[in-house]
Structure formats: structure tokens, C-alpha cells
Amino acid sequence: MRKNVAVLFGGKSCENEISIITGTMAANLLDTERYDVYPVYIAQDGAMYTGKELLDTSFYRGGNLEKKADRVIFCMQELCLLRKNKLKPIAKIDCALNCCHGMGGEDGAVSAMLDLNGIANASPDMASSALFMDKSLAKLAAKALGVRTLPYFRISENDYKKRGAFGVRCIEERLGYPVIIKPARQGSSIGVSVAEDRARLLFAIEAGFAYDTLLIAEKYLAERREINCACYKNGDEIVVSPCEEPKTQHKFLTFGDKYLGGGKENANEFPAKISKASADLVQGYTKLLYRRLNLRGVVRADFLLSGNEVYFNEMNTVPGSLAWYLFCKNLADFKHLLTVFIEQGICDSVARSEKKMLSNCGVLSGVRAASKRRA
């Protein structure tokens, strides 16, 4: 009997279109002998839609989605059609795969919705997703585990409005120039810029706040290389990919480098031409973070390499294209890998469901009695 799998993509973020590519790719490649696939597109207003037409990327051109697809919501484990304020169950979902990049998807929101509805999740859970979505918290966690990070300074929009001059002085004194400014909870290099002096720093901060209320300023290394490594769990084994080195002509890997340059696999050096010691360190750090912070599904860790020094940069809990090209030689291999993700998600869900939960034990009856006495 085939299992029902929901593939969620889109989302309320700047990376909605990138997520459509990841989601439709995964949904089209899932093994139809094992699974009945239900694509679930989350529009930028938060509304959810389903339908086989959502598997074609050309469907999203031109808008008017509400007229072309069926509106749905999750009601416990059921995916339900929402029409004329009435719910009609479509399928009981056995597992979901989250392909939503960025805020509202990769930050734990989708995982929380799935957990609340009792749906097995083949992607990282709410807690680890939320942690790694915030670059400042991710760096704190990495440092606590002994993983090196570059010096950085956290800037909230509220604090900056009250004492921006103090924040600027702290950045200059603690980090010096050049610095790189990043929205703390955005991905795909959105809102990122490098500042070589105070004028550019002020501009970079204002530009960053257009995308998030929280920024991080980080020491910028001119002679640096960006190194990525992905991993996933298969049974008791954590499988780690070889390292890759994305290539860029800019000061950092831009949105255009990632998505507008003809495909990541053509722009990257894979495997990366780095020393065995550096590769071992990157892979070891990736595996350590995955294991100690209870990650699930496939993730990609991004590092900076300067000389022989390796620094953790960020973790992508929903990596672009699910990082398939770091593990697979062809799409047939990726099809098998997706099966591993789904079955592992179901297995993990079963293990969690076997844990005890205390039922109501009569506390409220005592509260009601006390209320009556006070009355």
C-alpha cells in the first residue's frame, strides 16, 4: 500500500520562487510505486494550495493562483480541501517533506505546523530549524560545541534606533573594517553587503533592516574561500558529503551566483580542492553539529576557509535542491535518496510517538472548587 507524502514548498519569504524549484523537483522525483505525492504550495500570503498542476513550474507564471488550484489546510493528519467554508478530507498524510526556504518555512514554522497536526516530518524539527535560522544563535551554539566562528556583533533594529552611534562604534572597535552585514534570519545572501568605511557601514545597516529586524556584523576576510558540506541520517549512520567550493567573482556568494548563473553544479568546484586536513575538519564539524543539535533530514553547513583556519558560517536546514548534487551522480540516485529521507522521517516519528505523555490528572477540578469557595 502506497504512503501519502505531502511536499511543501513556496512560503512567506523572499525565496518563494527558489523553493518552488526545490519542491517541484523533489515532488516529481518521489517514487510513485511507494508514494502518492501531494504537492502543497504555500503562497506568500500564507494560503496553501494543492493539485497535480502544481508540479509544473510554468504554472506559477501569471498569478491568479486561487482561481487555478485548490485551497487546502491541514486538519490533524488530514489534508483537507477548503471550499465555500467547508472542509473535505483529501488524504491522510503519512509524511511531509519541507522544501520551503527562508522565513516562514525554514525557521521552524512549517515543522511546528506538522508537529501540531501529528504528521511525520522528513525535515529538521521546529527547535533546530529556529536555532539555525538565526545566524547569531547558530554561532553561539557552534561556539559552545567548540566549532570556531568569526568575530561578530549583533544589531537589533530597536536598539539601533535608540543608540545607533554606540552600535557603530562597537563594530568599528571590535571588528574593524572591512565588515560584512547580514540580515540574521534571511538566506540566499539577501540583504548582505560589505562595508569598508563608516559611510558604507551606515548604508549597509539600513539596507539590511529592509529585510529583517535583526542583523549581524561580522569580520570580513578578503582572502577567504567558501566551503560547503551536507549530511543526512540513514538509520544509525550520519552520511556526510564531500566538500564543495562555490565560485564567485564578487566579495561574497551572491543571490545571482547561487541561482542566476546557470545552475549551482556548473558554478561550483566539486570536490573542493582543499587539503585533507581542512576537508576532514569541515566534515567533522558538519557531523558534530548535526548530531549534537538533533538535526533531521538533509542539511548543508557553510564554512569559511582562510589559510588553514576553518570557521562555521551558517547552517541551511532546507538547502537549495536539497543538496542532492553533493551526494548523487544523477537524478535516479536522488530518487533513492528521497526515499531514504521519507522513510527515516516516518521511523523517527514512530519512535517519538512511543514516548509517554501524561493525561489530564484532575488539576482543573480543584481549581473550579476553589473558585466556587471564593465566590
In order of start, what are the domains of the chain with their CATH numbers?
A: 3-123 (3.40.50.20), 151-219 (3.30.1490.20), 223-317 (3.30.470.20)
pLDDT of residue 2 exceeding 60: yes
Q: What is the mean pLDDT of residues 150-154?
A: 94
pLDDT at residue number 99: 97
pLDDT of residue 239 exceeding 80: yes
Per DSSP, the three-state class of 214 is strand
What is the spatial distance between Cα 107 and Cα 124, in angstroms, rounded to a whole number? 10
pLDDT at residue number 68: 79
Instruction: Look at 7-16, 34-43, 264-273, 345-354 and tell me which has the smallest mean pLDDT.
Output: 264-273
Burial (CB < 10 A; 0-12, 13-18, 19+), residue 221, is middle
**For residue 62, what is its C-alpha cell?**
501569471
pLDDT at residue number 85: 85
What is the spatial distance between Cα 239 and Cα 128, in angstroms, rounded to a whole number? 18
- With a pLDDT cut of 70, the percent of the chain lying above it is 90
pLDDT of residue 264 exceeding 70: no
Q: Which of 241, 252, 364, 359 is nearest to 300 (CA)?
A: 241
Band (262; pLDDT cuts 50, 70, 90): very low
- Condensed to tens digits (0 to 9), the pLDDT of residues 63-103 reads 777 777 899 999 999 999 998 889 999 999 999 999 999 88
Per DSSP, the three-state class of 205 is helix
pLDDT at residue number 263: 45
Whether a cis peptide bond, with omega within 30° of 0, leads into 178 is: yes
Band (4; pLDDT cuts 50, 70, 90): very high
